[in-house]
Every structure is written in C-alpha cells, then in structure tokens.
Structure 1
Amino acid sequence: MILRRWAHTLRPYQSECIAKSLQRLQQGIRRQAVSLPVGSGKTVIFSNLIRQIPQPTPMATKTLVLAHREELLVQAASQIQRASPDLIVDIDQGSRVANPAADVIVASVPTLGRTQSDRLLRYDPMRFKCLVIDEAHHAAAESYGKVIEHFDQAGHLVIWGCSATLHRYDGLRLTRAFDEIVYQKHFIQMIKEKWLCDMRIVTVKTRSSIGGVRKVSGDFATASLSSAVNNDERNLAVVKAFDAYASERSSTLVFAVDVKHAVCLRDEFRKFGIHAEVVLGRTSVAERERILNDFRNRKLPVLVNCGILTEGTDIPNIDCVMMARPTRSPVLFQQMIGRGMRLSPGKKDCLVIDFVDSFGGELVQITVPTLMGLDPALALSETDITDREALQRQQMQFLEQNPRPEPAVDPDLQAEMQMLRRFEEQEKKALNTIMPESLESIGFRASEHLNPLQLFSLQQPLSSQAKSKSTVALELVTSGSSNIRKLSRLAWVCISPVRFLLSNRNTLYFVTLDPEAGLWKGSTRCQMKTRAAATAAAAAAGKGGSRGGLFLTKETPIDLESPTLQHAVRAIDSLVRNKIPPFEYNVLLWNAPWRNKPATESQIRMLSKLGVNVSLAAQNLVQKPRDMSIGSMESEDKGVSTLTRGSATNIILRITHGASKTWRQVCSVRDRAEKKRERDRGGDPDLAKASALWVAKDD
C-alpha cells in the first residue's frame, strides 16, 4: 500500500530509474551506480527504491545509507521517513549513536570509516540487504572501502550509488564500489524536459592572472589561488558584475576560494550597501542555520561560501550563482553551478556569472564554454545554455572578430591541421615545463614528435650540464609526447594525437579520443609470444592478428569515458596500480632505473628490422668517436648513453602499434595542404578522404 501511495509522486524518469535498477539487479548486477544532475531528486529515488530491493536472506532486511556531511545525512533520513513512514530511520554520526534495531541507518562515513573506529562492529553485516552511497563519486576513498568491506562480507549486499558527477579527478568513471552505471540523464536534457530550471550564462573577464598558480591533486592549490584572485580589483569586479546582472535576483550564491577570500567578498558587497553574509566551516551550527533560513526565505540576497555548499545543498530558490572561485576540476565546476538548477515557485531561471582570469595566454580553468565544447575564450552574454543556435552564433561571431590563422585552405583538411598544430604547441609547452632549459640550450634539436623514425640531432657537443639531462631529453622525445610525461608517472607512448599506449608485460592499455562524443575512451589488448599459443588462440577466437610470432587479441573496451586526456590516463594508471603489486608497478615508471641502462642487442636488431637507422641514430644522439661500436652504446669519454633501453622500448612500441602509419598520414595531410595553398580553391576529390586520419590503427 505504501509503495502504491508514493509511486504516483515520482517523476517519470525517477520511476524509470528505479525500474532499471531492479531490472539490472535481477540480471545479477548488484553493484550499481546512477548518474543524475543536481536537483533531479536522487534522494527521492533511493528512498523509494530501498523497500523494493528483495531480501537475499530472511534476516537481511536492513539498509545502510552512507553520506559524508551532516546536511546530506539529515536530508536523506527525512526523505526516507516521508517515503516510508512505517520504517524506523536513525542517524549514526559522531555523538549521535543509532539504534542497531533501526530498519534504515543513515551513517556518516567519517564516523564509520575512520581508522581504528569500532562503530562498524556494532552492526551485523548479515542483517543488511542494501548499502546506498550518496554523492557516489567519493566512493573510491579508503574510508568508503572499509565500510563496504565490512558490510559485504556475505557477498549478497546490493550496493547502489548516486551522484551528479561520477567522474573523479583520477578519471575513473566507475570506482571499485560499482560494476555498472545502470541509469543516467544529462542536465541539458533535464532542463529541456523542464525538470530543472532554465540556465543563463554570463562570462566576465578579469585581469587577474592564474597561469602561475600551483596545482595540487588536479586542481589549483588553495593558498596559491587565493593569493592570485583575492585582490581589491577582482573583488570589486565581482560586486560590479552582481550590480550589472543580478541586482534584481532574489538569492545569489557566491563561491569563494578560502575563508579569507569569502570574508573579503562579503565585506566588498557590504561596502556598496548590499546585504551579504558568509557561511564558513567554522560557522556555528546555530548561526549557519539562521543564515541559511534567511537565505531560503529570500531575506538575504547574497550568500558567500567556500567549500560548504557545493554538495547536498537543497535551496531551490537560488536564482544566481557567481563562480568567483576558479577551478580546473569539471566535477567541482558542475557541482557549483548545479546549486542553482532546482525548480522553485516564481523562479524563471538561474543566472550563472562565470569569472575567467586567464584569457591572455593558455586557458587553465574550467568554464561553461569548455564544458559545452565551444572555444574556451568565448565570452557568453546572458545566453540560454540549451539554445544551441545562439551558442553557435556567438561562437561564429567570436571567431570572426578573433580570426585564427588558417592552417589549410581546404575545409576538409582544416580539422586535421588544427589538431596537429595544437599538438605541436602543447608539446613545446610541455618540453619547456619539464626541462629546466629548452632542448636547444642543452645541445639538442627537437624533431617532430610524431615521427617514430626520427630522434633528435646534436647542434653542438654536450656540456657537462647537458649530460645529466640527456637521459630525460631522450625519454621525452622518443615517447612521442612530452606532454604525456606531465600527465603520468608511467611510461606511456604516443601513437597519434588522439591515441596513447601503456604496455604492461603482455597487456596493452590504450586511451583513444572518440571524435563524435568528444570523450577519451579506454581499451585493452593482450599479446601472446609463442606461435603455438597464437595459433591456438586464433583458432578459438577466430579474431585477432599476428605480428612476428606475437598474437594480439581483439581490442576490448574498458568501462572508461573521460572528458580530458589527463583524466583518461590517470584512470588507467589507477586501474593498473590496483591490479598489480607495487614492485611491478614501479617497473612501469618512465624514470625506472632499468630504462636508463644501454639498449640491448635484441632491441638494436628489432629497431633495425623496423626501419630505424640505428647507426645514424647513435651518431645523432651523442658526439662520439666514429669507431665506437653500436653494441657498447656508451662512451667513457662523454659518459652519456647513446640509446637507452627505455628509449628503445618507446620507439619499438610506437612503430609496432601504428605510429608509422600515423606519421605517413600526417605527411600526406601536410603535402596536400601545401599543394592546395599553391592552387586556386577548387574541387579536389582526394581531399574528401582526409576526415579520419587521427584515429590510429595497427599497421
């Protein structure tokens, strides 16, 4: 009766999500994740779901709900009690000790999951059928793992997690806690279907520079960022933007960097007679509740916070969000703008004022245009985020006013040439960042990275300083991408600008850009070394390929989709680290000691077989006596290895997995573009075939 009474209150997609979760549970998927945007009612969904999850045993009747903040705990407990008034719901947090006999325990992760905590021992895991994880993108943390391990001892527990952003900074879309995303809905689709409010975007450029701000764990270091943006000029710009765009809004939420920045912004608003308050971690519970109640009741027009109201905040009347806190994290950015997406009576839309601080050079922060796949330097002017025509029109107007040099006159080649130019620019920046001095200053001339057959040449004899850096320089260039060495500690190599490879013994990991989806996707292949194994596997699978006695299995997708190469690479890094022992992981480091040793004779033979002029490479790599044999690979006079095992491994991997083919395609594109520049613009049927050059496949 209770289920029927509450079912009609659910939105269609909420009922659909519950049905899909139960269906996948019947099919054996008991570790499930759901991705829905902020304001979609994820708490309502799991409050109605938990009663419908069947008991695996007669005694397993209870549910545990995990959250990491008090607001989420109270919100979940209240919603579950409304959905199922006959259930006993209790909270376990700090000094609040839940009754073990309760039907639903809403527990704090810091309370149950902290090291040396004995609170877990109060609960018999055999009595629990379900574990719900709110804000599930946190579930990879050690504290969550400890709780999951305790309650899933019997192996029958249903683990169900929900989040607006199932991507973590390490790039893993699904953490160790989940097997599958069983349901998801994008926030743009939710806005179009009128389940979330309309959103308008204004971009405000500032003169503050954040290019030199330190990075920690994928985002800006808080102290360094605060020093860069917490200044009188920028704080005044925030208040002026409010006055220009949001003075008629009833409830404006401002995100600041840290406590000092939040207080300074509040004081700046007050200077101009604007009633503003600030909520901080140190704000007392009573004071916080008073301020939030005033804000909910529209008695407070401006509320400033730093890291307090990014998750679990249910204040539907927020109709303006000011992004005064720059971030490099798409997850945090979406969490912040999501605060204003809930529907509320009398609320027409939500205005997001996006402050951008680095248009002068490389754009280093996440903005609305970057999320929408538009030019990062595009400044939006009160634009409806769902109006694709308006967004494209502004994009075209921006490009007309800020023309970019055309890499090729033929439109069919433009995308390929732009990608190549961006890749080369990124590599140059990466080299200048990683190396204390440029390659030229230590005696090397950098070649085109995508050419696996060309290394680099000496412009002058190596100095003593250069000798200590030559191994690093060699590793950077032979990997095909200096930028990949900034993104990972492991020995990734570049096959093409949209495809990268990590080799771990007989397992190959790839990340490849899907141009249609705009996402980096993961995949894996296995290789077998013996001809007998290759023949047997080929006969059994009927697929795959062989290369010189190596059998490569069919490329298998990994459940990984990431918006950036950085996220994708870190996802594979995390996956590999969790699968192999530490000593084996250390072997994969790009600066592992074995990689600095001289190349082996078998590597030299393989390079020669693959078309690399090893003798010429040796002459170019180091100034050495001409009678020095290639087998020795080291000069006692110079003390510099001509070719290391690591650099040889890089070259072999790249050539055997498609880099040579990529380089031929690049050369073809460049040649045709050059010829096209010299001719009048006219039809050229051959150029129409240049649309898919960048997805490298095996030769």
Structure 2
Amino acid sequence: MIPRVARCLFRPQRCGLGFVQRPFLRHKHVTFATLVSSPKAGLGSEKPTKLELRDYQLDCIKSVVKSTKRGVKRVGVSLATGSGKTVIFTQLIGKIQDRPNGGSRTLILAHRRELVEQAAKHCRLAYPEKSIDIEMGSLSASGAADITIASVQSIISKDRIEKYDPSSFKLVLVDEAHHIVSPSYLRVLSHFGLDQKRHNSPLLVGVSATFSRFDGVKLGSAIDEIVYHKDYTEMISDNWLSDVVFTTVKSTANLSRVRSGNTGDFSTGELSRAVNTDELNNITVRSWMAKAAGRKSTLVFCVDLAHVASLTDTFRQHGFDARCVTGDTPKVERGQILEDFKNGRFPVLLNCGVFTEGTDIPNIDCIVLGRPTKSKNLLVQMIGRGMRLHTGKKNCHIIDFVSSLETGIVTTPTLFGLDPNLLVDRANVDEMIAAQRRKTADDKKKAEAAARSGHPAATAVAFTDYSSVLDLIADSSGERHIRAVSEFAWVQVGPEKFILSAPSGSYIRIERIEDDIIRSGEQSPKYRAVEIRSLLPGTSKSPFAAPREILTAATFSDAVHGADSYASHAFPFSFIHRRQPWRNLPPTQGQLDFINKLRGEGKPLRVQQLSKGKAADMITKLKHGARGQFARLEAQKKRQVKQEMLAQPSSREQVRVGPLES
C-alpha cells in the first residue's frame, strides 16, 4: 500500500503533450468550493484590509456613478490589462444605491474559471459581511445571495437562471465585456431586462481592456456608453504599468495560403501547419536567446497543442527548462506549474489560448508572440500579460514575429499606427510613439509640399493604365487587401467601395464615409456597410429596396468583419465564399456573352480564358459602374499628363549637381 501511495505523490506529471514535467507533491489544499461556502475556510478567515484605490480607479468609479445619475443604464469601462479591473468593479458594488423597489443584489458574470475565482476572492475581502454565492459547474448558487459570481456557461444551462429574480438585483457586472454580445451573454441580459434600454432595469457595467470585437459585431447592442477609458500607453507613462520594450523579428512563415476561421482570424489548424516547423521553431528560440535569454520569466504564446509540444521541445533541446500549460492540463497540475513559474523555478512557460485573459502573473518580464493573429484585441491581450508591475522588474520585453500586410496580420508596430513590417529592437513605448509622430509629421509635410507645388503627392495617387473597360474589370488587384481580411468574394467597384452579391441580386456594399460626414473624435466611424435588397418584379418601380445601413465602423477591417458576420446569415454561404468549387468551373455561355458585348469587334473571350467565379466578379463590376469608373480614370490620366507637360519648363530651369541630360 505504501509504495502505491508514494507513486501517487511523486509520479512525474505531464502537460498532456507527452512531456514529463517536474515532479511535485500533492499538498493538502482547500478546494474552491470549500473556500466559498465556508466562512471559516480560506478567504473567509482573512481580515479585511483597507484598500487604497489608485487615482484613476477612483475616477473610474466616480464616472460610473455620475453616469447613473444621468439615467444611463448600460455602461462600459475600458481599462488596460493590469489596471485592477476586478478591484474596481468589486469596489463599485458598495457605491451603487439600491433600487427604489429594494433591489440590492449584485450579479458578476465571467466566462472563465480563473475570472470567477478572482472575483470571489476580491468580493470576500471587500465585503466579509455579505453572503456570496458561486454559480459554476457543480457549485449551485441560491439566487438570493447579496453577491453572486457566475460562469456564464453555467447560469444559462438548463433552468438555473430562473431562480434569479431580476427585480431584486441592482447591479450586473460583466468581466471581459467584449464578449457581451455573444448569444450566451445576451440570454442572461434578456432575463434581467438588459437586452435593450429600459428605465426599470438593474445597472449593467461591462469592463474590458479591448472594447471592440474582431468579428465586427457592434457592442452597442448591449452597452450604451463607455464612461471611462484609460489605455496602456497612458498607464505606462503614469507608472501604473510596467514599461514595455519591443523587438520585431522578420518571420519566414508563409501565411498567404492560411485561410480565415469563423471568427475572421487565421484558421488554427492551417496556421499551425504554416508556423510549426523545425526552421521557424529554431528561429523563435534563437531569437529569444539573442535578445532575451537573460530574462527571468518568459511567457510564450503558441498556436495549438502541436505547436506547444514542438516549441517546448525546441527550447529544451537548446538547454532551457521550458514547461507548458494547455487547456488539457489538469487543474491541480496547472496550479503547481504556475506557482513554480511565479517563484522563478523555471524561465520559460508556453501555452496556447490559456493565458490570454484573466491571468495574474506579474513577474512575467518577456512575452514571445509565436502565434500570428489578425486580431488587434488578441494581440493587446497577449502583450498585456507582461504589463503588471513587480518588484525588481524594470520592463517587459515583447518579441514579435512580423509577416506580410497582405495576410491581414497585426503586429506590435501596427498598435502605434506604424508599418506592420517595421523592424525594431528594444524600442520602448515612448520611442514607438515618437516614431508614429515622426511618420505622421512626415506624411503631413509631404502632403503640404504636394499641395504647394500643385502636384499630387507621390503616394496619393497610383495610376494603372487600362486600355479598355474589359481590362479594368479583369484587374483583381483591388480585391487583394479585402480578401486578405475576408474569405468572401468581395469585389472592388470603386475607390474604397466593395460589393458582395447574392444570387437573388441583393448585395452588401462597404464604403468609406465622406470626410465631411465623419463626426469629430478618433473613434468616429470611418466606414459603413449597407444592404440593398432586390425586389420581386412588379412590386415596385425600382428593382431594389432603399439601402439599409447594417453597421458603421472605425476601421476598414472592423467594417469587413461585421459585414461578413451579417452576410453569413443573410446570403447563401455556398455562393459568397470565394473558395467554393463552382468558382473554378468554366463560365456559362450567358456570362461569356454578357462580357463579350464590351469587346465590340475585338476577339471574343473563350471558355478557357475565364473561370465561372472570375466571370461573376467581372459582371459585378460592370453592374456597379465600371464604365463610369473607366471614364473617370481616363479623364484623370489626361489631367495628370497635362500637369506634367506644364511642369516640364520649370523643371528644366532648375540647376542640379550631377550629369546633364543630352
């Protein structure tokens, strides 16, 4: 019996990937269920300490309270990772008055176990006199506690939500609130009367570091107003977060053929196959050795389980004690690995999708971004893991692997409005901001110089010569950027104007909002998407209904992702997805006849020269103004030629050092 017990206590542990990790003792511990349910166990026995809130935390709470006096019922708080969001919303509970009907309870919603546990810990410390329940997994809340912390997946399972009386709640708090418009959260909000603006509902406060969604779905359906914002650059400048230095490494990964998944980001399986190679894994480790081997606590983000396994093995082959945590790692083992990492017992911890949210490891002083992404939110979340202050920590070194813009990738330079391919070495936030300001100033000077000279700036207009309308509609270079962002068959029909067609004749148009319409402020929408529905013959004089605005967005990518999300429900997927087999079939005779009308007496196109999908794209361009666009380009080209001819005399009068033209 004793040998069997010994084997249980000392057996090597694995992270689910075939790696033997450091043996550890299974110490007696207080379970989370015990900690919550028993006031004498765990946190319940700790004496509450007076918490000194930071200035911005006080300002944030005041902003929320002030907004409630204006009658705003659904508010958002935008704060950088590491700012103490959990502290803020737990302290907010005591600042919100009970409802006139006596409703005094609070519900805290989160989507990860770690976030639920964090909230429970802070609430127990802040309000030892209040009853606190947990709704998560096998832990079932009463529905009548002063404060309930719930996993959103658990509270909507079966009929568990029915025990919560909405009228008895004064406050609903949502952590990581960029998830708030997902169906599970919306179901909870609907139960509490928060699915739309209502005067008699509880107060909703959503807190997040990334108040936007990569899929373009608008958070405005759940949040009416963001009442406080403080980003990481401000907090670093104010010394509330650790300074960050950036190094970018040119990646040889070929992401051009990696398709997008349902969320709009890279498909995980295909991305892993592109990134998880011996060559790239060795580049990753050697780059870390060259730039950050002296760092004490490095967190590495990988693509999937296979990538974690391979890259962990590569670190070990180079002589480093690297360990890993994945979603398959048992909870007790994960806790021990994290404890060892926090205590500096090994230098490199690898993960995939585990530590992007709700993880407090302040000793992290290096982040390796081995997982390319198109999502700015995910990038900020990953970088944010290293921004917490810690004794003896001067800064956090971010090592990022950059790739081509054509893949839609976002990198650390893009966070500062810089070229995604920019290579920097140990540049801190101030230096990155300075580089961005220099770029802005240079662009402004070029534009002003061009305006004074009467000539367009070299980068302002790029002409492509088309000998005919047919050449124009055959040119697909305009779709390159949008198709790096979207899997759908968008077609460019004009400057910053794109069309996605349905077989019924209906279509969605993405277009830039005219500058004189754009409202002041950095977050004003710059793009919009509208739907134009085709009507049945005889129902109206016009074949189309009036355009209906679907969304507005601050960035082109957000507009595309939002329009894609809408189109995936409104239009047949088999028609709009550009990699459907039918697009590679030969064109129909009707398509050829339609296009060949433009050739006049020219040699007609043959079946072998086009695919069905290419022909469909060309016809879309024709239906949406290609003839007019060609005429405008021709006129613009003639004006440019005339300007160049007028400029030649003054150019010849200038004296320059160098050979003279013969």
Normalised to the residue count of structure 1, the TM-score between the two structures is 0.68
Alignment check: 8 A CA contact 2:529 2:551 kept: no
Give the drift of 1:132. Answer: 1.2
Q: Distance in 2 between matches of 1:121 and 1:221?
A: 37
The answer for the alignment partner of 2:513 in structure 1 is 512
SS in structure 2 of the partner of residue 66 of structure 1: strand
The answer for the alignment partner of 2:427 in structure 1 is 383
Q: 1:214 to 1:668 in 2, by over 3 A?
A: same
Q: Distance in 1 between matches of 2:652 and 2:137?
A: 74
Give the drift of 1:213. Answer: 1.9
2:640 counterpart of 1:650: no
Give the drift of 1:133. Answer: 1.2
* Partner amino acid, structure 2, of 1:90: D
Give the drift of 1:267. Answer: 1.7
The answer for the alignment partner of 1:11 in structure 2 is 54
User: 1:279-428, aligned counterparts within 5 Å?
Assistant: 279-356=325-402, 358=403, 362=406, 364-388=408-432, 391=435, 410=450, 417-421=458-462
The answer for the alignment partner of 2:271 in structure 1 is 225
Give the drift of 1:415. Answer: 7.7
Q: 1:244 to 1:526 in 2, by over 3 A?
A: closer
Q: Distance in 2 between matches of 1:566 and 1:99?
A: 44
Q: In angstroms, what is the RMSD of aligned CA positions?
A: 4.9
Q: 1:501 to 1:455 in 2, by over 3 A?
A: same
Alignment check: 8 A CA contact 2:525 2:553 kept: yes
Q: 1:670 to 1:331 in 2, by over 3 A?
A: farther
2:150 counterpart of 1:158: no
Q: Distance in 1 between matches of 2:499 and 2:86?
A: 39
- Once the two structures are superposed, what CA deviation does each residue of 1:127-146 show, in whole Å capped at 9, x if it has no partner? 22221111111112111111
Q: 1:379 to 1:415 in 2, by over 3 A?
A: farther
SS in structure 1 of the partner of residue 299 of structure 2: strand
| Structure 2, unpaired ranges of 5+ | 1-47, 533-545, 578-586, 605-613, 655-662
Give the drift of 1:566. Answer: 2.7
SS in structure 2 of the partner of residue 571 of structure 1: helix
Alignment check: 8 A CA contact 2:249 2:401 kept: yes
* Partner amino acid, structure 2, of 1:62: R
Alignment check: 8 A CA contact 2:210 2:377 kept: yes
Q: 1:620 to 1:341 in 2, by over 3 A?
A: same
Give the drift of 1:161. Answer: 0.8
Q: 1:282 to 1:487 in 2, by over 3 A?
A: closer
Alignment check: 8 A CA contact 1:520 1:568 kept: no
Q: Distance in 2 between matches of 1:31 and 1:220?
A: 32
- Once the two structures are superposed, what CA deviation does each residue of 1:245-303 show, in whole Å capped at 9, x if it has no partner? 21221111001111111122222222222111100111111110001011112222111
2:70 counterpart of 1:71: no
Q: Distance in 1 between matches of 2:83 and 2:653?
A: 51
Q: 1:365 to 1:493 in 2, by over 3 A?
A: closer
Alignment check: 8 A CA contact 2:479 2:490 kept: no
* Partner amino acid, structure 2, of 1:387: E
User: 1:2-151, aligned counterparts within 5 Å?
Assistant: 9-114=52-157, 117-151=158-192
* Partner amino acid, structure 1, of 2:170: K
Q: Distance in 2 between matches of 1:676 and 1:288?
A: 73
Alignment check: 8 A CA contact 1:63 1:103 kept: yes
Give the drift of 1:618. Answer: 8.3
- Once the two structures are superposed, what CA deviation does each residue of 1:486-506 show, in whole Å capped at 9, x if it has no partner? 748698875533899999999
SS in structure 2 of the partner of residue 52 of structure 1: coil
Give the drift of 1:41. Answer: 1.4
Q: 1:23 to 1:283 in 2, by over 3 A?
A: same
Q: Distance in 2 between matches of 1:226 and 1:52?
A: 47
Q: 1:519 to 1:665 in 2, by over 3 A?
A: farther
SS in structure 1 of the partner of residue 336 of structure 2: helix
Alignment check: 8 A CA contact 1:320 1:350 kept: yes
* Partner amino acid, structure 2, of 1:102: A
2:210 counterpart of 1:196: no
* Partner amino acid, structure 2, of 1:142: P
Q: Distance in 1 between matches of 2:634 and 2:282?
A: 54
* Partner amino acid, structure 1, of 2:114: E
SS in structure 1 of the partner of residue 624 of structure 2: helix
Q: 1:259 to 1:51 in 2, by over 3 A?
A: same
Q: Distance in 1 between matches of 2:238 and 2:617?
A: 60
2:526 counterpart of 1:521: yes
Q: Greater shift after overlay, 155-164 or 250-259?
A: 155-164
* Partner amino acid, structure 1, of 2:164: Y
Q: 1:322 to 1:572 in 2, by over 3 A?
A: same
Alignment check: 8 A CA contact 1:171 1:562 kept: no
SS in structure 2 of the partner of residue 82 of structure 1: helix
2:569 counterpart of 1:568: no
Give the drift of 1:648. Answer: 6.7
Alignment check: 8 A CA contact 1:203 1:353 kept: yes
Q: Distance in 2 between matches of 1:336 and 1:204?
A: 17
Q: Distance in 1 between matches of 2:326 and 2:507?
A: 51
Alignment check: 8 A CA contact 1:63 1:132 kept: yes
* Aligned residues with identical type, % of pairs: 36
Q: Distance in 1 between matches of 2:118 and 2:639?
A: 57
Give the drift of 1:22. Answer: 1.9
Alignment check: 8 A CA contact 1:511 1:568 kept: no
Give the drift of 1:96. Answer: 1.2
The answer for the alignment partner of 1:434 in structure 2 is none
Q: 1:323 to 1:573 in 2, by over 3 A?
A: closer
* Partner amino acid, structure 1, of 2:187: K
Q: Distance in 2 between matches of 1:670 and 1:518?
A: 35
Alignment check: 8 A CA contact 1:211 1:364 kept: no
SS in structure 1 of the partner of residue 513 of structure 2: strand
Q: 1:109 to 1:483 in 2, by over 3 A?
A: same
- Once the two structures are superposed, what CA deviation does each residue of 1:7-38 show, in whole Å capped at 9, x if it has no partner? 97222222222222222222222111122111
Q: 1:506 to 1:315 in 2, by over 3 A?
A: closer
2:470 counterpart of 1:456: yes
* Partner amino acid, structure 2, of 1:163: S
The answer for the alignment partner of 2:216 in structure 1 is 171
* Partner amino acid, structure 2, of 1:512: I
Give the drift of 1:157. Answer: 2.3
Alignment check: 8 A CA contact 1:66 1:133 kept: yes
Alignment check: 8 A CA contact 2:501 2:576 kept: no
Give the drift of 1:310. Answer: 0.5
Q: Distance in 2 between matches of 1:230 and 1:80?
A: 42
Give the drift of 1:121. Answer: 1.6
Normalised to the residue count of structure 2, the TM-score between the two structures is 0.71
Q: Distance in 2 between matches of 1:242 and 1:480?
A: 38
* Partner amino acid, structure 1, of 2:306: K
Alignment check: 8 A CA contact 1:40 1:196 kept: yes
SS in structure 2 of the partner of residue 243 of structure 1: helix
* Partner amino acid, structure 2, of 1:651: G
Alignment check: 8 A CA contact 2:551 2:562 kept: no
The answer for the alignment partner of 1:427 in structure 2 is none
User: 1:594-609, aligned counterparts within 5 Å?
Assistant: none
Give the drift of 1:305. Answer: 0.5
SS in structure 1 of the partner of residue 559 of structure 2: helix
Alignment check: 8 A CA contact 2:178 2:213 kept: yes
* Partner amino acid, structure 2, of 1:288: R
Alignment check: 8 A CA contact 1:383 1:390 kept: no
- Once the two structures are superposed, what CA deviation does each residue of 1:86-140 show, in whole Å capped at 9, x if it has no partner? 22222211111123221111111121235xx221122222222221111111112
Alignment check: 8 A CA contact 2:245 2:427 kept: yes
Q: 1:156 to 1:362 in 2, by over 3 A?
A: closer
The answer for the alignment partner of 1:274 in structure 2 is 320
Give the drift of 1:352. Answer: 0.1
Alignment check: 8 A CA contact 2:497 2:511 kept: no
